[in-house]
Structures are given as structure tokens and as C-alpha cells.
Amino acid sequence: MNTMLHRAPVRGLAALRRLSERRPPEERCELCSARVAETHQHLVDPERRRLLCACEACAILFAHAGTATRYRRVPRDIRQLAGFEIDDVLWNSLAIPIGLAFCFRSSVSHTVLAVYPSPAGPTEAAVEEEDWREVAALHSALGTLTEDVEALLVNRVKGARDYYIVPIDECYKLAAIVRRHWSGFSGGDELWEQIRLFFEGLQERSRTERNALNA
């Protein structure tokens, strides 16, 4: 009797431990349902502005797809822009209310869209073509942005001046961080630490893109 009473809570603790260690459901390719690794490819549906998880076999089908296809493959290259700076006057002309945003060209609206994260989710606004040309004229790499799948990511918060060309899924990852960790009126210390870690990770994975305009 004593042995049974002693072992019962141990079995219960073991069950709770197994439950807590269970992994979330495995992600699958949204085209063929094959299992995908934690780090995997993404496709964009430009019409619906939707990201899809994809296996390597499906993603490669869209590696060189044109705008006539429904999906476009998101690249993996991250480029930190050297010799690039948006001054305060030009930044203010873009009418983006915070110093954290990304800009990309949409093949659907045929405009450049500025998207900035918020506690309620991403908010977007069209950028005037003349203003965008002024930004793009500051660095040669901005003329190579692939519409729908690459963006100029800007971080000007808390004194930072970070400028990257990144895959669009990295931008929405940042938006998810803001939405998940925002607290109080100004975001809270945890949020800004997560944002710092996000950009630190970008820098570690990026290559420097020199500005041919300065050559």
C-alpha cells in the first residue's frame, strides 16, 4: 500500500513532464503536405499577401517564377547596406510614424508600400513614387529589390540606424515579435530586447552590400 501511494505522484509528475516536453505539431509544406524542417523555405502569394511554408522540392519550382505565377519564392539573402543613410528630412517625408518599418514594391498594386509593425499587427501605407525614387537613389542595391519578396528594412529606434535588404518573411517575423511582446504604452523592456536580438541575428547572417554609387 505504501509503495503504491509513493509511486503514484511520481507517475503523475512523469506524465506532466512528458506533456510539457511535447513539441508543437510539425510544420508541413502547404503545397504537398511534406514535413519541413524548423528552418524552411517560404512562398508568397502576392494577391492575398500571404506567406506559405514550402519544402525544398516545391520551393524550387518557383525559384525563377515570373509575376504570371500565383506564388513567388522568398529568397534567403540578407544584405546590410553600407554607405547608406536616410536623413531625418527624407524619412519624415515618407510619413511613417515610427522608426521601424519595411518598404517593398507590390506587383499587385504597382506601388511601393511601407509597412510598420504595431501591437495590433502590421499597418501599411503607400509611398509616393517620387519619395521612393529619392530613397532608392541613395544606394545602388535598392534598384535590385525583387518585388513582393524583398524589402528595405529600416530600424531608426532608440538611436539605431540599421538598413537592410531582407527576405519579406523576415519582416513579418519582426512584426510578429512586436505584436507578441508589446506591453504598456511604449512597448516595454522585453520588446526592445527582442528587437535588439532580432537585428543582432540579422547582422550575423548578413553580407555587406557596398554602394556602387560611391565607387
Q: In whole numbers, what is the pLDDT of the chain averaged over residues? A: 87
**pLDDT tens digits, 137-180:** 999 999 999 999 999 999 999 899 999 999 999 999 999 999 99
C-alpha cell at 28: 508541413
Which of 3-7, 82-86, 107-111, 178-182 shows the lowest per-residue confidence on average (mean pLDDT)? 3-7
pLDDT of residue 26: 78
pLDDT value for 38: 87
pLDDT of residue 66: 56
How far is 7 from 12, CA to CA, in rounded Å? Answer: 9
Whose cell is 552590400? That residue is 209
Q: What is the DSSP letter of 151?
A: E
**Average pLDDT estimate for 90-110:** 94
State residue 4's pLDDT score: 40
Name residues whose C-beta falls within 8 Å of residue 157's C-beta, 6 or more positions apart in sequence: 98, 99, 100, 192, 195
Q: Residue 131 has what pLDDT?
A: 96
**Percent of the chain whose pLDDT exceeds 90:** 70
Task: Enter the pTM of the model.
Answer: 0.84
Residues 6+ apart with CB under 8 A from 28: 34, 35, 36, 53
pLDDT for 19 equals: 44
Task: List, for residues 34-44, the tens digit of each pLDDT value.
Answer: 999 988 999 99
Average pLDDT over residues 73-97: 94
